[in-house]
């Protein structure tokens, strides 16, 4: 699956979903796979037509504007996850951002993007957060570095609203928030932010690492275990849930 996916530009996890009839199916990928598997033209056309007519469609497919491929894959994966583990060292995780905070992040990160594109990406992020309101939502576990809590993104008012939103989200049964304080010193993920997306089975787990201009998805067993272990260490080093909430509240009241 890894080799086949690489040949047509999709991940092993996505190909696994295609083969087990889980989640969305993109017809260009089906077309490319048929060519790689030496299917006849008749078989390929028939399968592509089936894919085009599939009833299962992610909400983002209907968006007027295109979205980056890395975000496209993230949305596809998130449509089926049962748990997400996030370590955030720069900004509050996207699933927990307010709109004003998300706008400020995008304006800082995409300095050459026109306002229309910024608003488009923020709209996607806000829509993505509906994941938390599902009848059976995934468990979102976030370890947030103190630097991300203290960094003034969008100004004092925006930041205070964001911290208040974090506290409100932490009250939800399927959202766990821990803060990793400066006082804990060096830790297991000094290289940057990442997320472990966990599927119904371990074979569908994927790691997402933040990069400038997009992101990197990794799914080799050694890579997955390395990041899963790093998250366990980070969670162990971070404050407990109650102490984390107290620190967030205290920072929100600082002048």
* pLDDT of 142 strictly over 70: yes
Roughly what angle, to the nearest 10 degrees, separates helices 41-52 and 27-36? 160
pLDDT digits (tens, 9 = 90+) for 216-234: 888 888 999 999 999 999 9
CB 13 within 8 A of CB 219: yes
pLDDT digits (tens, 9 = 90+) for 96-119: 999 999 999 998 887 678 888 889
Overall fold of domain 67-252: Endonuclease; Chain A (3.30.870)
For the chain, the structural domain boundaries read: 1-57, 67-252
* pTM of the complete model: 0.77
């Amino acid at each position: 699956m890894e080799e086949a996916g690489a040949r047509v530009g999709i991940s092993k996890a996505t190909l696994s979903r295609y083969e087990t009839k889980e989640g969305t199916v993109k017809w260009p990928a089906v077309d490319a796979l048929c060519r790689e598997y030496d299917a006849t033209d008749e078989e390929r056309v028939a399968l592509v037509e089936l894919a085009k007519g599939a009833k299962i469609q992610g909400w983002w497919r209907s968006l007027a504007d295109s979205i980056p491929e890395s975000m496209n894959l993230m949305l596809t994966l998130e449509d089926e996850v049962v748990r997400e583990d996030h370590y955030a060292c720069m900004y509050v995780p996207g699933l927990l951002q307010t709109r004003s905070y998300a706008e400020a992040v995008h304006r800082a990160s995409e300095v050459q993007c026109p306002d229309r594109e910024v608003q488009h990406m923020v709209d996607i992020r806000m829509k993505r957060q509906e994941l938390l309101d599902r009848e059976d939502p995934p468990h979102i576990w976030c370890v947030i570095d103190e630097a991300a809590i203290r960094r003034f993104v969008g100004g004092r008012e925006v930041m205070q609203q964001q911290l208040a939103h974090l506290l409100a989200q932490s009250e939800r049964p399927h959202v766990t928030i821990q803060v990793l304080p400066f006082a804990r010193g060096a830790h297991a993920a000094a290289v940057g932010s990442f997320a472990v997306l966990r599927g119904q089975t371990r074979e569908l787990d994927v790691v997402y690492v933040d990069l400038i201009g997009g992101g990197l998805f990794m799914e080799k067993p050694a890579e997955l275990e390395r990041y899963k272990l790093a998250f366990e260490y980070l969670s162990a080093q971070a404050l407990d849930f109650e102490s984390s909430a107290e620190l967030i509240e205290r920072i929100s009241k600082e002048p």
